[in-house]
Chains A and B, each alone.
Chain A
């Protein structure tokens, strides 16, 4: 267990250090996510009341689109110079690699959620009425999309058409997460009377199943 945690934290810290160093998240992913929020505002040509109503869905679509960039980046770290072979030869547990990479993506998504929360408050005039629900649903959803994204990133990593195939494979799988997270955030913003905590419970179940399946399948996928 000690060795597992050592390997997991080593991979997570390495990925995060590279992201901080390269500034891809700050210089590319964050501006992209903010741009998506702003463009939704233009596309809907709506007043703030309409935007507030749709803001939970727009928020999570912006997160999911940005997630694709974060996953592509996470996969490319190991494939550009075939560092994944080195990880295999070093004897790192595939499960530790899976969770290490998931934690790195999770951290980036949480950071992005914080910024986008500021974005919908500023651009759409949203007001968070249940901050606890907002935080818990945000963390659980970030976990669900991170572990699912890491798994699908590994699935697509050996393919030459990875960049175009990954969204096609991943987004349909994350559709239930999008629905659940939107319902939970609608509740947290007081836009609907939906029971946000029940949706958060369902999201937790999705995250648990995805983490379990991911930890079982990741080793097989990276060996192929």
Chain B
């Protein structure tokens, strides 16, 4: 099953074509790495796939939903880890994860249960759970962000520079998490500058340049 199907996809930021006709097919269970210079269009491509940016022209489906008409359905099935944590700095790590579980429509009891599972799974340290997020390290924030996304049980993961700012342990934790997601049938797209790192995770690397996605044939 194709999770992503883009044909001549264009996205305009104002008048500027941030994506200039992308053709991309991603199958279920794949890990796909996007590489490219700053401003090449990697983040725009991820946001398009998350249903956060409107498709200017071309056609596209994500998880079987049309990008023109079913953006809301796409959003509910997708997790996106961006450059920022997406967390509330004055809430504790636990409160954040529970909030995001409840925000995805879960009742209080289920949200608490899933949050505790997600926290354990992501390895957020117990002693840090009652601290405001503002006092956590970058690595613990990233783990908390991933826990907040995990509670929604998304089918497609869009990770934008997931390794940036992390120490070796944090990077390895992210790699393990990605492998675990794919192991249970999820699909992951990673935008990264660290080609060596993402190449070890994925045999499929796509270069984004000038708003166009090119498959790396030598992979």
Q: Which residues of A contact B (CB under 8 A)?
A: 3, 6-7, 10, 14, 17-18, 21-22, 77, 80-83, 85-92
Given A90-B152, A91-B105, do A14 and B72 touch, yes or no (CB 8 Å)?
Answer: no
- As a 0/1 sequence over residues 137 to 170 of chain B, the CB contacts with chain A under 8 angstroms (1 = contact) are 0000000000010001000000000000000000
CA–CA, A10 and B101, complex, Å: 11
Chain B residue with the shortest CB-CB distance to A91: B76
Is B8 part of the binding interface, using a Cβ–Cβ cutoff of 8 Å? Answer: no
CB distance from B79 to the nearest CB of A (A): 7
Question: Residues of A contacting B11 with CB < 8 Å?
Answer: none
CB distance from B86 to the nearest CB of A (A): 4
Chain B residue with the shortest CB-CB distance to A19: B90
- As a 0/1 sequence over residues 40 to 79 of chain B, the CB contacts with chain A under 8 angstroms (1 = contact) are 0000000000101000000000000000000010011011
Among the listed B80, B89, B100, B105, which residue makes an inter-chain contact with A81, where contact means beta carbons less than 8 Å apart? Answer: B89
Question: Residues of B contacting A18 with CB < 8 Å?
Answer: 88, 90-91
Is B102 part of the binding interface, using a Cβ–Cβ cutoff of 8 Å? Answer: yes
Is B132 part of the binding interface, using a Cβ–Cβ cutoff of 8 Å? Answer: yes
Interface residues of B in 64-117 (CB under 8 A from A): 72, 75-76, 78-80, 82-91, 95, 99-100, 102-105
Question: Residues of B contacting A3 with CB < 8 Å?
Answer: 105
Q: Which residues of B contact A (CB under 8 A)?
A: 50, 52, 72, 75-76, 78-80, 82-91, 95, 99-100, 102-105, 132, 148, 152
Are B102 and A91 neighbours in the complex by a CB distance under 8 Å?
no
Total number of residue pairs linking A and B with CB closer than 8 Å: 66
Are A85 and B80 neighbours in the complex by a CB distance under 8 Å?
yes
Are B84 and A89 neighbours in the complex by a CB distance under 8 Å?
no
Are A81 and B88 neighbours in the complex by a CB distance under 8 Å?
yes
CA–CA, A14 and B90, complex, Å: 10
CA–CA, A86 and B158, complex, Å: 13
Chain B residue with the shortest CB-CB distance to A92: B103
CB distance from B26 to the nearest CB of A (A): 18
CB distance from B211 to the nearest CB of A (A): 21
Question: Residues of A contacting B103 with CB < 8 Å?
Answer: 7, 10, 86-87, 90, 92
Question: Residues of A contacting B95 with CB < 8 Å?
Answer: 17
Chain A residue with the shortest CB-CB distance to B148: A86
Are B75 and A91 neighbours in the complex by a CB distance under 8 Å?
yes
CB distance from A93 to the nearest CB of B (A): 10
Between A and B, 11 residue pairs with Cβ closer than 8 Å are A6-B102, A10-B103, A18-B90, A22-B90, A77-B88, A81-B88, A82-B86, A83-B87, A86-B86, A88-B52, A92-B103
Are A17 and B91 neighbours in the complex by a CB distance under 8 Å?
yes
Chain B residue with the shortest CB-CB distance to A86: B86
Question: Residues of B contacting A6 with CB < 8 Å?
Answer: 102, 105
Question: Residues of B contacting A83 with CB < 8 Å?
Answer: 86-88
Given A21-B132, A91-B76, do A86 and B100 touch, yes or no (CB 8 Å)?
Answer: yes
Given A10-B103, A88-B52, A88-B75, do A21 and B80 touch, yes or no (CB 8 Å)?
Answer: no
Question: Residues of B contacting A17 with CB < 8 Å?
Answer: 91, 95
Are B86 and A81 neighbours in the complex by a CB distance under 8 Å?
yes
